[in-house]
């Protein structure tokens, strides 16, 4: 999948599944897993590689970073179902 499509999908996922809050931290793996599950429910979904997702997240202003033993993303929280 090309990066323009990935950026668009990540933007849609952020709009639908993410709450923005500068005081929160989310596990990057949990966020990626939520994105993949969300993606499976989209009509025109394709395979998005984790590095494509990370790059698109950086472009959206959410840069995954290492915190001790885990990767995190500051400023987002997954919405509860």
pLDDT tens figures, 8-53: 999 999 999 999 999 999 999 999 999 999 999 887 777 889 999 9
Spatial distance between the Cα atoms of 38 and 45, rounded to a whole number of angstroms = 10
Domain that holds residue 35: 3-78
**Phi and psi based region of residue 58 (left: phi greater than 0; alpha: psi -120 to 50; beta: remaining):** alpha
pLDDT at 78: 97
Question: What CATH number is given to the structural domain containing 67?
Answer: 1.10.10
Domain count, the chain: 1
Q: Is the pLDDT of residue 80 over 90?
A: no
pLDDT score of 46: 76
d(CA 20, CA 37): 20
* Chain centre distance of CA 73: 9
pLDDT tier at 1 (50, 70, 90 boundaries)? confident
């Amino acid at each position: 999948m090309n990066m323009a499509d990935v950026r668009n999908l990540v933007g849609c996922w952020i709009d639908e599944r993410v709450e923005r809050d500068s005081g929160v931290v989310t596990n990057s793996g949990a966020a990626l897993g939520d994105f993949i599950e969300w993606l499976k429910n989209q009509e025109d979904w394709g395979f998005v590689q984790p590095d494509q997702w990370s790059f698109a997240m950086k472009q959206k202003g959410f840069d995954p970073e290492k915190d001790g033993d885990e990767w995190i993303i500051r400023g987002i929280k997954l919405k509860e179902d």
